[in-house]
Amino acid sequence: MSTEHRLERLFNPKTMAVVGISLKGKDPASGWAAGGGQYIREYQRLGYEGHIYPIHLTATDDILGLKPYKSLLDVPEPIDFCVICVPPKAVPDVLEDCAKAGVKFAHIFSAGFSETGEPEGIELEKKVAEIAKKGNIGVVGPNCNGLAYVPSAKISMWPILPPRSGPVAYLSQSGVNCFQFITYGLGQGLLFSKVVSYGNAAVLDATDYLDYYAQDPETKVICAYIEGVKDGKRFTQLVKETNKKKPVVIWKGGVTSVGARAASSHTGALAGSEEVWDAFFKQTGAIRVSSLEELADVAMTLLYLKPRPRGNRVGVMLGGGGYSVQTADLCTKEGLELPIFSEETQKELKSFIAVTGAGFKNPLDSEPMAEHSEQIFGAIKTLSADPSIDTVIMSTELGFLRGAEKVKELTENLTQFAQDNPYKKPIAAIMDSAMARGDEMKEAVSALKKALPRAAVPLYRTMARLVRAVAKVTEYYRFCAEAKEE
């Protein structure tokens, strides 16, 4: 018999209660009912299958189709999860009721606690923590969106998110940031397992969510937006352990003094000094990012770039000398090396490509072969075979290929090659298509863009983003390999 993780019922609640529902002033038809009502409405929308119990002292009619109860204590079954949307001063009383009713987890949506910086709010948060501890309630928040998105449990805070589950878990001290990362990530081909917005972290902190994600079989990559952690030592230890098994990608907010000021008034977090966090990343090997784009690019690279790069030596092929120079600059700045191709590789390339100039060294200038899918494919194979290369980076304009058939041919060859992978080298690619004209061509391009990531060839929007993500992920695997050896 397997033991259930102590947060299992939080991410997979069988029953819910919602306290703090306003019945007036909002138009339920718009889908934006106030306070607790919006949680009921949104959780219903993705088809949450457990029971939801609205708690309301005076309501007699159904609330959003559900029978209201006057008190948590009246609910006829055990409650796994309670959403609390009452004014901050009323929170302790509701939480006391939760304790009495045996509620396992509570999400405090309400703001007005330590993030205010006021003694009253700080005191109130302490009280919440005490009641939670005494009553053994796992509290999410306060001051947050709670269970933002858990597709497997059919839970979603926002109406536009898809029901399909995936490998990316996210824990974030910001609710808006959850929404931004999910919508941006979906656009980049990411799917999510669990997303929690956990605000001030009065009770459950980053460490707790991370501990759950670390053992969650659905989760393959753990992403986090963190402003501060309460127990730095425990957190560092856990990230260090987890990161060896599942990559942990962290965006640390509040790294500047002005950012730290904002963090303090956002989640009451003590942001910690830049030095402390530098040391943390060095020690744990967690991947550090500092924007939405980077977070999504790194997660995508971890998921799709296969097999793992065995080192930081890249073989680059792309169209144009300037593009070669710019990419060489980018790679070098991010810690990727461009060794000059072996004599054998250069000879092999020259046997089927008519390059003038010296575009054979690395990068390979593939502009002259942009029309010929068999040459592009041949060059990828040749670069993969070079023993001085760990990862192949390529960029081409598909619109230069002479017809949709040629795009299809490249798609087939490349997916087959990436799957067979005779040289065990990953390929990261940019497939531009600004020049692709005609419906047939556009369809072929679109099919290629779907097929390649599935065949472990991730696609990127720009070279700067590709290089940054590949460099970070390469460094991550180096760290893991070194940690194993020790």
Whether the CB-CB separation of 294 and 341 falls below 8 Å is answered with: no
Distance from C-alpha of 450 to C-alpha of 446, rounded to nearest angstrom = 6
Q: Which is nearer to a second copy, 99 or 464 (CB)?
A: 464
* Nearest approach, Cβ of residue 184 and a second copy (Å): 8
Check residue 174 for interaction with a second copy (CB under 8 A): yes
Contact range with a second copy by CB under 8 A, out of 51-59, 321-329, 345-353, 376-384: 321-329
Least distance between a second copy and beta carbon 361 (Å): 6
Q: SS3 for 478?
A: helix
The binding track of 124-163 with respect to a second copy, each residue x by CB under 8 A or -, is -------------------x--------------xxx---
Q: Is 257 in the site for a second copy (CB under 8 A)?
A: yes
Q: Are 320 and 397 in contact (CB under 8 A)?
A: no
CB 266 within 8 A of CB 227: yes
Instruction: Annotate 214-278 with DSSP letters as a single string.
Output: HH-TT-SEEEEEES--S-HHHHHHHHHHHHHHS-EEEEE---SHHHHHHHHHHH------HHHHH
Q: Rule CB under 8 A: is residue 177 a binding residue for a second copy?
A: yes
Q: Is 332 in contact with 326 (CB distance < 8 Å)?
A: no
Nearer to a second copy, 168 or 338 (CB): 338
Helix (H) or strand (E) holding 343: helix 343-352
The answer to whether 99 contacts a second copy (rule: CB under 8 A) is no
Looking at 117, 307, 335, 387, which residue binds a second copy (CB under 8 A)?
117
Residue number with CB closer to a second copy (215 or 273): 273
CB of 257 or CB of 419, closer to a second copy:
257
Contact call for residue 73 and a second copy (CB under 8 A): no
Closest CB to a second copy among residues 109, 377: 109
Q: What is the biggest distance separating any 2 CA atoms in the chain, rounded to whole angstroms?
A: 84
Cα 90 from chain centroid (whole Å): 34
**Under rule CB under 8 A, which residues in 338-367 are in contact with a second copy?**
338, 356-359, 361, 363, 365, 367
- Per CB under 8 A, does 24 bind a second copy? no
- Our finding on whether 82 is near a second copy (CB under 8 A) is no
How far does the chain reach from its first CA to its final CA, in angstroms?
34
In the complex with a second copy, the residue whose CB is nearer, 161 or 214, is 161
CB of 149 to a second copy, least distance (A): 14
Measured CA to CA in angstroms, residue 432 lies from 45, 262, 401 at distances of 37, 39, 11
Site for a second copy in 393-432 (CB under 8 A): 402, 432
Closer to a second copy by CB, 92 or 320: give it: 320
1 binds a second copy (CB under 8 A): no
For a second copy, the binding residue among 1, 2, 4, 30 (CB under 8 A) is 30
Tell me the DSSP string of 431-476.
EE-TT--SHHHHHHHHHHHHHHHHTT--B-S-HHHHHHHHHHHHHH
Site for a second copy in 234-253 (CB under 8 A): 251, 253
Q: Does 275 bind a second copy (CB under 8 A)?
A: no
The CB-of-256 to a second copy minimum distance in angstroms stands at 4
Binding mask 431-450 for a second copy (x = CB under 8 A): -x-xx-x-------------
* Tokens of residue 470, six digits: 């590949």
Closest CA to 400 of 440, 433, 442: 433
Q: Which stretch binds a second copy (CB under 8 A): 45-53, 77-85, 167-175, 477-485?
A: 167-175
Exactly one of 78, 133, 231, 265 binds a second copy (CB under 8 A); that residue is 265
In the list 99, 262, 455, 480, the residue contacting a second copy (rule: CB under 8 A) is 262
273 contributes a contact to a second copy by CB under 8 A:
no
- Judged by CB under 8 A, the number of residues near a second copy is 75
**Choice from 203, 206, 331, 376 touching a second copy (CB under 8 A):** 331
Q: How far is CA 186 from CA 179, 181, 247, 298, 369, in A?
A: 11, 8, 19, 14, 33
For residue 410, give the amino acid letter.
L
Residue selected from 1, 57, 258, 354 as contacting a second copy according to rule CB under 8 A = 258
At residue 3, φ and ψ (nearest 5 deg) are -85, 135
Residue 479 CA neighbour count, 13 Å, CB half: 21
- Does position 263 bind a second copy by CB under 8 A? yes
Burial of 130 (0-12, 13-18, 19+ CB in 10 A): middle
Residue 341 DSSP one-character state: P
Angle at CA 462, nearest 5°, toward 460 and 463? 95
| 107 versus 266: smaller Cβ distance to a second copy | 266
